[in-house]
Amino acid sequence: MADELDAEDRNALPESAFAFPRERKEPLSDAKHVRNALARFDQVKDVTDAERDEAFKRIKRAADRFGVEVSEKSWRELGKP
């Protein structure tokens, strides 16, 4: 698939291209990856609430850039009805 990142492509991404840059988790390189980052947000382990706050801001910016609608105002609202 053209929108899949192989290991080489993923490794070539700068830290700023990830929702969680320190862990290099959840790349934000296109709309599909932004939606995936939202869906898998709670699966990222060993990060602080402050890191989650920053990751959510990065995801929201990427969502705006790629036209992905995000109705949640905080990561704490993800997955809630």
Supply the DSSP symbol for 41. G
Question: In the prediction, which pLDDT does 6 show?
Answer: 85
d(C-alpha 41, C-alpha 51), whole Å: 12
pTM: 0.89
Q: What is the pLDDT of residue 1?
A: 40
Q: What is the pLDDT of residue 79?
A: 84
pLDDT of 3: 62
- The list of the chain residues with pLDDT below 50 reads 1-2
Q: Which residues, 6+ apart, have CB-to-CB distance to 22 below 8 Å?
A: 15, 47, 51
